[in-house]
Structure 1
């Protein structure tokens, strides 16, 4: 095993992935400006829902976030070209992490994956061929890399697909409820809509999703099934791109395929002028990075998606442990939340202009998510405190999962202004229910 990990292999897959990645990073950042995503999520809002614990992280004022994304887009092009690679991928990773943690109104798992992959790429020698750096400094030019560089990427994508598969084994997915609701909203064409709402079709999509997530990596690993798996990936991700319109993610996911094909084949197709490498040598270059960074990193990646099992309640309802767990495109949440603000000194109810303070998108995202409801209560508390008033904030909140029955989500008798957010266990003010719909005390 040790010899296989440190065997010298052609670095063509890693170099090609760097080029793909840099291009996609630039597309994501410039596209976020062009489509209005930056404006909608970081410029227009008066307040932001940063990840809990990172409230100090706020968008730049004025047009600052446009410049921020332009810089990230340029860094993506630098990564693509392999120009000042460590600096460009390192700075992009930090800046992307900032844009990820600063808001969660438009939370998306592929933003998280992008952050992780950029972090991985910072430690890999992806700039040692077909790069400006290698032209400017021929001493760094190299045709090979240790085999574990490919395996790190394979392990990362395996973790994503594995936990995405496990998450789908719940009634709302297995009976096709979620896929039916998703396809109904995603497709406007009448003919396609009539097909997509057929039971046989949305059940097929539901179970095809499970089969794909479960089998795609094993099938890519074996020579006899690799091309079949690649074609299936192409169909799966293009279907998602067309129907769900989820930006670069389908193409980002497809780019990992380069690590599953023999490096020599990637070289022959994409780098025909690149000399072949001598097989059988081993290199222990970068071994400390493997042992000191990547092994702990992989362990953490295996633990994070399991943490919701240690928290009381169903994560599908409570959302506790939902993020960073590869629970992708899994459920619909609908509901409503109304806040009651009481002046503690007088006992009188106070008006808070929530429709003015939060955008429509922020309100729609907040009303069914306990963490964002709690953050809104904290915001209300802070703003009244600034006026010299101490207040209690109560939430009358009801939610529904996958168009199912509505239940009260938050204990309406709990003062959320005084309540604490528990990072590692269940917050008691998030109500739990048994199978009969009765509140669990």
Structure 2
């Protein structure tokens, strides 16, 4: 509810869906463009109301199904503001469709005694344990890269946060603290350690409370310093599924009847098999998505192929430059003005993400076709990208007509130039020269 209504209140919906000509959607979801505009205020307003119903447990099953469908729609509708917690919310709302979350302390249970229950099947919280385990473990694995380990990304991100604090509170000690390189280096390794260890420590009863306290500190610090929205609180809420049944009842629901503390739910053999298949398929899918980039040629940081839906969180910043050129059938060459079509935020995404570069070429082709001009060719010239604080490198083949090139859905796009051996080669050379002088 807060996420959806807050998106309207803060202007995020306006910036992302209203004040744009179009959104750059996930490939295959072009049909969602019909909703771009003020209609999205209504969509987010309805989703916020559905969130309220879900919270109250009122008309729960209908509310959660509708929320999942609408949230998935908005998720696949745009990529320029991609965020991992949007994906996490989609997964959690999908799983909640199958949960009896309205069986206790809900309006549904008060109105219908048949809904009421004080127990739940074990698989209901096992699947959330699987989900949060995938989030943390694959986030940790993704950080094992030179850009993270050698402290190329976090100083930039923390400097951005320090600037944000200075704009609102003036020069202060906290902003100077955030700009410390030692802090960034400490957080780089602390982040890896936390992501790798938090799940085992939560699973192990003697360390569970300590791990949860550490999670509270870790996520609150991230929320304050990195301004990453609802994710820290969502992650903390999911930690409840690592606590045993008795602890949950004693701490969170002390008023529950004690005589049902050990109640067991009787489940048929057929249902058990269906649940096992569901758990297996969901788990395999959650393992495949973060690893799929290993099946695709070149580095995912460079190509972005396999980056989304893989828990590759807070790993790099990218800056791009280049221009689109359209060749018309009459021989005329048009140097496209991106400001004519794109918002500032969309522009940087289009210059750094290959799929968005290809999609914008398709958009240009469609725009000309609407004017009755067919057979146009679109090229992206002088394309260069830098990763974090590294130098610029050539990015896209300037001789490939992107308007008439097919997208390879599960493979590598050959028109992306090979990634450099190191994104920081010039920095490394400068460091070596400095050592030689010493």
- Fold match (TM-score > 0.5): yes
Measure the CA separation in 2 of the matches of 1:77 and 1:229.
Answer: 31
Counterpart of 2:133 in structure 1 is 158
2:366 pairs with 1:382: yes
Measure the CA separation in 2 of the matches of 1:246 and 1:322.
Answer: 18
Counterpart of 2:75 (choices 100, 104, 112) is 100
Task: Please say which of residues 389-398 and 78-87 is displaced more in the overlay.
Answer: 389-398
Counterpart of 1:306 in structure 2 is 291
Measure the CA separation in 2 of the matches of 1:232 and 1:180.
Answer: 23
Q: Equivalent residues in 2 for 1:119-138 (5 A)?
A: 119-138=94-113
2:17 pairs with 1:33: no
Counterpart of 1:221 in structure 2 is 203
Q: Equivalent residues in 2 for 1:365-376 (5 A)?
A: 365-376=349-360
Displacement of 1:323: 0.6
Counterpart of 1:400 in structure 2 is 386
Counterpart of 1:114 in structure 2 is 89
Displacement of 1:410: 0.5
Counterpart of 2:267 in structure 1 is 284
Displacement of 1:155: 0.6
Displacement of 1:433: 3.4
Counterpart of 2:430 in structure 1 is none
Measure the CA separation in 2 of the matches of 1:215 and 1:152.
Answer: 19
Residue segments in structure 1 that go unaligned for 5+ positions in a row: 1-25
Counterpart of 2:218 (choices 218, 223, 236) is 236
Counterpart of 1:209 in structure 2 is 191
Q: Is the 8 A contact 1:237 1:251 kept in 2?
A: yes
Q: 1:328 to 1:43 in 2, by over 3 A?
A: same
Displacement of 1:403: 1.6
Aligned residues: 412
Measure the CA separation in 1 of the matches of 2:122 and 2:37.
Answer: 47
> What secondary structure, in the 3-state scheme, does the structure 1 residue paired with 2:30 have?
coil
Counterpart of 2:242 in structure 1 is 260
Counterpart of 1:14 in structure 2 is none
Measure the CA separation in 1 of the matches of 2:67 and 2:247.
Answer: 30
Displacement of 1:292: 3.9
Counterpart of 2:174 in structure 1 is 192
Q: Is the 8 A contact 1:59 1:65 kept in 2?
A: no
Displacement of 1:405: 1.4
> What secondary structure, in the 3-state scheme, does the structure 2 residue paired with 1:394 have?
strand
- Residues 9-43 of structure 1 show CA distances to partners (whole Å, capped at 9, x for unaligned) of xxxxxxxxxxxxxxxxx000000000000000011
Measure the CA separation in 2 of the matches of 1:238 and 1:332.
Answer: 23
Q: Provide the aligned C-alpha RMSD in A.
A: 1.7
Measure the CA separation in 1 of the matches of 2:185 and 2:216.
Answer: 21
Q: Is the 8 A contact 1:59 1:102 kept in 2?
A: no
Q: Equivalent residues in 2 for 1:296-375 (5 A)?
A: 296-343=281-328, 345-375=329-359
Measure the CA separation in 2 of the matches of 1:31 and 1:319.
Answer: 29
Displacement of 1:289: 4.6
- Relative contact order (alpha carbons < 8 A, sep ≥ 6): 1 or 2 greater? 1
- Residues 138-188 of structure 1 show CA distances to partners (whole Å, capped at 9, x for unaligned) of 122111112121111001000111110110001010011111111111113
Measure the CA separation in 1 of the matches of 2:323 and 2:37.
Answer: 31
Displacement of 1:421: 1.3
Residue segments in structure 2 that go unaligned for 5+ positions in a row: 426-438
